């Protein structure tokens, strides 16, 4: 019987190990590669989602403080201040018809550049119609909710509705909830030539509850009166005016003017309206009867 030389098994073993090594090299098992593939797939999904959302619209960029009142037709514009993404859509007539946001993030005057009136910009866009003394430059998404002031976030809105009515109540509800999710505004018009809306519909989720508000662009009192919903009888309970405090406790720098930040630090809720004793010490630059809305 012939004896197999000792080096032959050694060579066979080396060849077998070499084959395994090559197989291992060819198998894509890297965790980093898997993460990169998943990230790429997520980005592609997000891009596809955005393309579907913006289909039929041209996306353009407009400065948040642009006071021009004109809008382009069939466009979509980001009207969120800073990194917020609030999307505004126009129709073929250049009318602002829809605004959406996955999440409403409140204004932060500690980290954002906010002026003494609690606004990002000194004035709002002059959309045709705002020259009417009964109409305000009404934000669809207010400054306090992180909205900018160009024409893609402004409509001529009834002053009472904007300052004291359903619009103000809706904004206040979102502020008190600390923000909102799945926000959508639908704006309708009486015809295709005006930029003055006839109706607003807002849908949003706060504290897990979905809310839908629909109201006409009109003075709420006049609407109630036309529907015979007003009560002419005197109120059963009268509320006392807000008690005045020492101004020096609020105006810490002693300059005779109270900023939004100073008022908030003193425990006052925004907005401060014209009938509030503190109003006369604050800067209502747009003259709408409210500061910090």
Angstrom distance (rounded) from CA 156 to CA 169: 18
Distance of CA 124 to the CA centre of its chain: 16
Contact 197, 138 (CB under 8 A): no
**Range 51-219: architecture per CATH:** 3-Layer(aba) Sandwich (3.40)
Integer angstrom CA distances of residue 281 from 120, 249, 270: 20, 13, 14
Confidence (pLDDT) at 22: 46
Confidence (pLDDT) at 239: 42
Confidence (pLDDT) at 244: 76
Integer angstrom CA distances of residue 265 from 41, 197, 257, 260, 271: 46, 37, 14, 9, 14
Per-residue confidence of the chain (293 residues) as pLDDT tens digits? 455 555 555 555 554 455 544 444 444 455 555 556 655 565 555 555 667 889 999 999 999 999 999 999 999 999 999 999 999 999 999 999 999 999 999 999 999 999 988 899 999 999 999 999 999 999 999 999 999 999 999 999 999 999 999 999 999 999 999 999 999 999 999 999 999 999 999 999 999 999 999 999 999 888 766 665 555 554 444 444 556 778 887 877 777 888 887 888 788 888 888 888 888 888 887 777 888 77
Angstrom distance (rounded) from CA 95 to CA 89: 8
All structural domains of the chain with their residue ranges: 51-219, 247-291
Using alpha carbons, select from 23, 91, 86, 22 the residue that is nearest to residue 56. 91
Ramachandran angles phi, psi of 105, nearest 5°: -110, 125
């Amino acid at each position: 019987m012939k004896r197999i030389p000792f080096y032959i098994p050694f060579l066979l073993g080396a060849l077998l190990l070499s084959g395994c090594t090559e197989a291992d090299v060819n198998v894509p098992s890297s965790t980093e590669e898997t993460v990169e593939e998943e990230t790429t797939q997520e980005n592609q999904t997000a891009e596809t989602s955005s393309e579907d959302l913006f289909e039929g619209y041209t996306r353009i960029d407009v400065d948040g403080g642009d006071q021009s009142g004109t809008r382009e037709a069939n466009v979509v514009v980001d009207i969120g201040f800073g990194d917020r993404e609030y999307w505004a859509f126009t129709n073929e007539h250049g009318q602002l018809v829809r605004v959406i946001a996955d999440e409403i993030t409140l204004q932060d005057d500690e980290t954002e550049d906010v002026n003494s009136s609690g606004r990002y910009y000194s004035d709002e866009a002059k959309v045709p119609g705002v020259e009417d003394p009964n109409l305000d430059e009404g934000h669809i998404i207010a400054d306090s909710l992180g909205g900018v002031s160009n024409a893609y976030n402004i409509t001529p809105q009834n002053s009472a509705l904007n300052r004291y009515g359903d619009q103000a109540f809706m904004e206040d509800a979102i502020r008190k909830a600390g923000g909102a999710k799945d926000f959508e505004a639908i704006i309708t018009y009486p015809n295709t030539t005006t930029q003055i809306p006839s109706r607003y519909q807002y849908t949003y989720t706060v504290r897990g509850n979905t809310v839908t508000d629909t109201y006409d662009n009109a003075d709420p009192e006049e609407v109630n009166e036309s529907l015979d919903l007003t009560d002419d009888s005197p109120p059963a309970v009268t509320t006392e005016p807000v008690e005045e405090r020492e101004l020096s406790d609020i105006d810490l720098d002693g300059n005779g003017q109270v900023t939004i930040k100073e008022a908030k630090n003193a425990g006052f809720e925004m907005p401060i309206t014209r009938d509030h004793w503190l109003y006369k010490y604050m800067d209502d630059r747009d003259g709408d009867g409210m500061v910090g809305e």
